[in-house]
């Protein structure tokens, strides 16, 4: 009888310790698995309609400065990089579930910082204004009461909402892709498109009917691009920042700027 009780107590004790051990493992795994969705792989979201940062190359695959930069970061970290092309407006919500990080010419904003963490910035930008040749739009106040196009969920979209808040006769049209907004500008459906400097210059180069105006003349705030990742994923954030630093120091970053941006 006594032996049985001891055996029972031992069984319970062992069971408890296995349980305790098991739960510890689960906690450790949970915080570790937060780092990457698939071990050894960095799943990257982008919106490949934003040249020269991301676009679909001649081989039908995403290419551009951001894509080359994240692949170089993947190489530094020994991670295979998988690119997923999606709507810009879905990127932030997909981080941590469908994708590990996004690289999409994404500006660091206070609002986005509530949902995601950002790496160190890798590029300085500003919004530009695309208008048809000969447009009377030259400064911020000229945009009031006009039809303004922008890409949905972008800082250009937020500026057009500010303008509408100041003058309710302003009309806002938002598009999934910056290129769709530019097409509506070319077709005369909107009077101006607010979008980031480099894509604005690329589109102005592609369409003779439009010119790109410097957003500094409109008083737009400077913006900084960064890679977005899950909030609190400091381990991955630290690794990405380390890789960025190495790529800046070893000249890779400058080479990519020359290849993709200065050659625009
Ligand atoms: N820089 C802008 C933003 O973050 C636009 C980015 C984009 O359209 N890919 O909102």
Which DSSP letter does residue 218 get? G
211, 200 Cβ separation under 8 angstroms: no
Please give the distance, rounded to the nearest whole angstrom, from the Cα atom of residue 106 to the centre of ligand 1.
5
Query: Is it true that domain 127-221 has CATH number 3.40.190.10?
Result: yes
Cβ of residue 233 lying under 6 Å from some atom of ligand 1:
no
On the question of a common fold for 37-124+224-261 and 127-221, the answer reads: yes
pTM: 0.86
Closest atom of ligand 1 to 225 CA is: 1
User: Closest Cα to residue 242, out of 66, 44, 78, 6?
Assistant: 78
Residues whose CB falls within 8 Å of the CB of residue 85, separated by 6 or more in sequence, listed in order: 46, 47, 48, 56, 62
Per-residue pLDDT of the chain (264 residues; tens, 9 = 90+): 455 555 544 444 444 444 444 333 333 333 333 589 999 999 999 999 999 999 999 999 999 999 999 999 999 999 999 999 999 999 999 999 999 999 999 999 999 999 999 999 999 999 999 999 999 999 999 999 999 999 999 999 999 999 999 999 999 999 998 999 999 999 999 999 999 999 999 999 999 999 999 999 999 999 999 999 999 999 999 999 999 999 999 999 999 999 999 986
Do residues 259 and 68 make contact, with C-beta atoms less than 8 angstroms apart? yes
Fold of 37-124+224-261: D-Maltodextrin-Binding Protein; domain 2 (3.40.190)
**With 0-12 CB in 10 A as exposed, 13-18 as middle and 19+ as buried, what is 51?**
buried
Domain ranges within the chain, ordered by starting residue: 37-124+224-261, 127-221
Atom of ligand 1 nearest to the CA of 125: 1
Question: What pLDDT, on the 0 to 100 scale, is given for residue 264?
Answer: 62
**Going edge to edge, which strands form the sheet with 228-230?**
80-85, 41-46, 101-102, 228-230, 116-118
**Residue given tokens 């932030």 in the structure block:** 92
Q: What is the pLDDT of residues 2-46, one digit of tens each?
A: 555 555 444 444 444 444 443 333 333 333 335 899 999 999 999
Atom of ligand 1 nearest to the CA of 154: 10
Tens of pLDDT, residue by residue over 128-154, are 999 999 999 999 999 999 999 999 999
Beta-strand ranges (E) seen in the chain are 41-46, 49-50, 54-56, 62-63, 80-85, 101-102, 116-118, 123-125, 127-132, 147-151, 171-175, 192-196, 210-213, 223-225, 228-230
Residue 243 CA to ligand 1 center (angstroms) comes to 23
CA-proximal residue: ligand 1, atom 7 (nearest): 105
CA of 47 to the centre of ligand 1 (A): 9
Cα 12 to averaged position of ligand 1 atoms, centre (Å) = 58
* Residue 263, pLDDT score: 82
State whether residue 84 is helix, strand or coil.
strand
Q: How far is the CA of 85 from the centre of ligand 1 (A)?
A: 14
Counting from 1 in the atom list of ligand 1, the atom nearest the Cα of 178 is: 8
What is the CA 209 to chain-centroid distance, rounded? 29
Sign of CA dihedral 221, 218, 163, 54: negative
């Amino acid at each position: 009888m006594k032996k049985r009780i001891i055996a029972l107590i031992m069984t319970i004790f062992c069971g408890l310790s296995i349980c305790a051990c098991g739960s510890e493992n689960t906690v450790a795994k949970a915080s570790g698995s937060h780092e990457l969705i698939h071990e050894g792989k960095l799943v990257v979201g982008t919106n490949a309609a934003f040249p020269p940062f991301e676009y679909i190359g001649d081989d039908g695959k995403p290419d551009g400065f951001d894509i080359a930069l994240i692949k170089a970061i993947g190489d530094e970290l020994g991670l295979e990089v998988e690119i997923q092309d999606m709507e810009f407006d879905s990127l932030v919500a997909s981080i941590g579930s469908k994708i590990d990080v996004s690289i999409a010419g994404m500006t660091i904003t206070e609002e986005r910082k509530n949902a995601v963490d950002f790496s160190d910035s890798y590029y300085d930008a500003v919004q530009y204004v695309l208008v048809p040749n000969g447009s009377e739009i030259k400064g911020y106040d000229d945009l009031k009461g006009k039809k303004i196009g922008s890409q949905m969920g972008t800082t250009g979209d937020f500026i057009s909402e500010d303008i509408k808040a100041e003058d309710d006769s302003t009309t806002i049209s938002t598009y999934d892709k910056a290129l769709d907004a530019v097409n509506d500008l070319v077709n005369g459906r909107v009077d101006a498109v607010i979008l980031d400097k480099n894509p604005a210059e690329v589109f102005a180069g592609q369409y003779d009917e439009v010119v790109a105006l410097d957003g500094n003349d409109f008083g737009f705030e400077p913006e900084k691009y960064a890679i977005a990742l899950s909030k609190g994923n400091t381990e991955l954030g630290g690794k990405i920042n380390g890789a960025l630093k190495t790529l800046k120091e070893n000249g890779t970053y400058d080479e990519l700027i020359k290849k993709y941006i200065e050659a625009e």
